[in-house]
Chain A
Amino acid sequence: MNFLTLSTLSLSLFILPVSAQTVQFNIEGIQHDKGKLYIQLFKGENNFKKGEAHNVAIVNAKKGKLTVTFNDVEPGDYAIRYFHDENSNRDFDNNMFGMPIEGYGFSNNAPVNFGPPSYQQMTFMVSDVAVINSSTVNY
C-alpha cells in the first residue's frame, strides 16, 4: 500500500462519520401484529427499477406504528418500499391478476392512485442532515 492510497483511505475513514447520515423511516397504519415487515432502501432510480436494494430491514409487525433506522447512509437520492408479510411466507402475495393482497407502501407516503407511484414521487435526498420519512400502509 503506497502513501497515496493510505492517505485516501485515511481521508475516507475520517470523512465517513461526517457525511453519512441516518434515515429514520416511520411506518404507520399497521393493522395487526402478525408477520413481518420487509423494508427495502434503494439508492438511485436505476437500482430501484432493477430491484437491487442498497439495504434491507426485516422487523416483526407491530400494530399501529413502528420505526426502522438505516445508519451510515451516504449522500444521494434514495427511495424506500416495503410490504407487510402478513402470513409469514416471506413473499409479497398477489391475487390472480397480480394485484397486491398484503399491505405495502413507499417513502414520502407516495400515493398509489390507479397505479403505482413514480420513483420521483417516493425519492428523497440524503445530504448532511439526518432524514426522517414516513408512510402509511396500503392494505
Chain B
Amino acid sequence: MQRREALKSMLGLSVAAAACNPFPALANLASANEDIMAQFATSFDKAALSNPSLIGLKSMSGDIPWQNLTIEGKLPKALRGNFYRNGPAVHQRNGQRYTHLFEGDGMIQHFNFADTGIQHRAKFVKTNKYTQEQAADKFLFSGPNSKLPGSLPVNKTDIINAANTNIIPVNGELWALWEAGSATAIDTSSLDAKGLVNLGENTRYSNSLKGLAFSAHPKIEADRTIWNFGSTVTGDIVLYHLNNRGITQKVNLLKTNYRGGMLHDFLITQNNILIILPSLDRDKTDERLFSAIRFNKSLPMKVLVIDKNTLTLTREYQVDAGFAFHFGNAWEDTDGTIRFDASLYPNCENLHHMSDLMRGKTSNATPANTVLFTLYKNGSAHKQTIAGISEFPRVYDHLTGLQNNLLVTLSSVKSDVWSDSVRVVNVNNGKQDTFVYGEDFLVEEHVIVDNSHQEGNGYLVGTALHVPSKRTCVNIFKIGHVSDGPICRAWLPYTLPLGFHGNFMAV
C-alpha cells in the first residue's frame, strides 16, 4: 500500500480525476472531454498577435550552433569563462500547449566569454521525453500539470523529466536540474546529455536513490560541497550531502506532513539546513500539480532547522503565512540566531499567473518583496521588509551559508509580465543600486561573477529580452555601479525563450 501511495503521489496526482476549478477564468476549460492543451495553444496564439511581450514564451524549434555576438561597450579582461542558463524552450507542439510555464523541455543557453569576444550556442537537453516528442513532432506524455489526451503511460517521474530549471557544474560535467526527478548529466564540451545521474551509484546507497527528486536549487559551499533536498507531495523530504565531486556522502528522509505540493528552494547556514514550508494546501480533487495549489492564509510558514552533520530535525519555527519560490541566503550568529532572506509573496497568485501566461493572459499577480527573517534561539522570529519588488535572489557564491551584506535580485517597476530591472541591495541598511532596463525588456536572472571573494567586487551578468527588436542580449554590469547601466552588452540576432536559472564558470 505504501508503494502504491508513493507511486500515486509522486507527482501529486490523485487517481481520481475529478475536475474542480477554482479559477473563474478557467472555469469554461475544465471539462474532461476537452483538450485543454489545444485550447491553451489557440488562446496563446491569438493573444500573441496583439501582445508582443509574449514572444519570450514561444517555442524553439531546435539547437543553435555557435555564433559570435555583436558587442556594445567593452568586455572586461577579467571576465572570462562560460555562462550557462537553463529554461523551458518547448511549450507547444502540433496545436497543443502546456498549461504551466514549468513544464517545457529544458534548453541550455551557453555564452562563452573569451579574448575574441562573446559567443553563444544553445542545445536542448536530449532527455528521453524530448527525443521521443521531437521525433514524433507532437507531445506524447502528459506533464505534471497538463493532461494530454491519449498520453503514453508515465510510470515514473523521470519519464517526463524536462531538465529545465537550473544547470550547475559538478566534477567536470554539468547537471541540468528538474526538481521532481533526477539530475541529467551534460557534457561540457558538446552539451550532449550523458544520462540521468544515479546519486547512489558507487556508494553504500546503491540504487536506493535512483529516480528520487533532487531539487533545482542545490546549495554549493565555497569548497564545492553540495547540499540539496527533494520532496514529494505526501510530505517526504529527502536531504542530500554530496562532496565536491558530486559523490553522495549522506542522505536522510524526513517524514513531514507538508502537503502544499510546491517546495522549490531551501537554505543552508554554516551548521544547519533550513527547509521553509510555505502556507500552501492542495485541492485533492484536482489532479493537476500546480493548478491544484491553494494559498492558506491561516497556515503559518514553518521553518525546519536540520543539523547538517546528522541530517535530522533539531528545531522548528513558525512565521507569518507566506509563500516563496526563492531564497537568497542564510547564516547564523555565534549565539545560534539564524537569519535568512526570502523573495516573499503574500499569496500564490504568481504561481497561477505562470499558467495564465501560457494561454496568453497577463494578470496583476501580487509580487514578492525581499523579506529578512531573524529566528532567535528562544523560538521567536522577526521579519523586516525591504522596499521594491524582488525575485531571483543571488549572493556571492563564496558566502553561501555565511553572512552576506549584498543581495542581488531582479525587480520590476512597470512590467506585469516579467521583471524589468536588476538591483544590488545592501541588506544592512536597505540601500539599493538599481538599473531599470525599462518596459521594453523582459529581464532574466543575473548572477555574480567574482574571483576576489570580496563583496562589492566583480560583475553582474544576465540576459534580457528586448521585445521591440525581438532579440535577447547578455549584459555585464560592474558591481557598485549597477545604476550606471551595463558596461558591455552583446546582442543575439534572435529571441531566446525566457528561462530560469544559471551559473557562470569563470576560467
Contacts and interface: CB of A to CB of B under 8 A. Distances in A.
Given A111-B153, A115-B8, A97 B212 contact: yes
Contact of B10 (A93, A97, A111): A97
Contacts of A11: none
B64 interface: no
Interface stretch (B203-211, B416-424, B426-434): B203-211
A112 B207 contact: no
Chain B facing A: main interface SS: loop
Interface string A2-27: 00000000000000000000000000
A101 B182 CA distance: 13
Contacts of B213: 97
B232 A113 contact: no
A95 B211 contact: yes
Given A99-B212, A113-B153, 11 more contacts: A93-B207, A94-B6, A95-B208, A97-B213, A97-B238, A98-B2, A98-B3, A112-B153, A113-B154, A113-B155, A114-B13
Interface of B: 2-11, 13-15, 142, 151, 153-156, 207-213, 232, 236, 238, 251, 253, 287
21 contacts: A95-B209, A95-B210, A96-B208, A97-B10, A97-B211, A97-B212, A97-B213, A98-B7, A99-B3, A99-B6, A99-B211, A101-B207, A101-B210, A111-B153, A112-B153, A113-B155, A114-B11, A115-B7, A115-B14, A115-B15, A138-B155
A113 B142 CA distance: 9
Contacts, number: 78
A98 B208 CA distance: 9
Interface in A96-139: 96-101, 111-116, 118, 138
Chain A facing B: main interface SS: loop
A112 B155 contact: yes
B13 A115 contact: yes
A50 to B, nearest CB: 11
A116 B212 contact: no
A99 B156 contact: yes
B212 A96 contact: yes
